[in-house]
Amino acid sequence: MSYDSKIKDSHIDELFEAILELKNLEECYRFFEDICTIKEIKSLAQRLQVAKLLRENKTYIEIENETGASTATISRINRALNYGAEGYKLILDRLEKKRCEEK
């Protein structure tokens, strides 16, 4: 099954191929610290946490207090969870499965 992305181009393909070559957390830290600012990395991590908390049916206030994300950011992520490309669902399902297998 092929996904028709709105952002697809050869440069983004190359970036994603590079990310797929990373083998472990240390390699991820090394690559992302070079390619992103600390603020960008923290913003991405925050978005993932917001998505996780939304799936746990936390309120916007609880999420804002726990993550520091603005209600606008929470709303945008909620919209992506409900109407987006299902990328959050894909990765959150895999992370949850991995955590269950590690127990």
| 5 part of a folded domain | no
- Local confidence pLDDT in tens for the 103 residues of the chain: 567 888 999 999 999 999 999 999 999 999 999 999 999 999 999 999 999 999 999 999 999 999 999 999 999 999 999 999 999 999 999 999 999 999 8
Residue type, 63: I
CATH of the domain at 23: 1.10.1270.10
In the chain, the number of structural domains is 1
| 87 part of a folded domain | yes
Return the closest-CA partner of residue 91 out of 102, 79, 80. Answer: 80
| 14 part of a folded domain | yes
| 2 part of a folded domain | no
| 3 part of a folded domain | no
| 32 part of a folded domain | yes
Q: pTM for this one?
A: 0.90
| 1 part of a folded domain | no
Q: Which domain holds residue 92?
A: 10-102
Distances (CA, A) of 34 to 17, 31, 63, 74: 16, 5, 29, 27
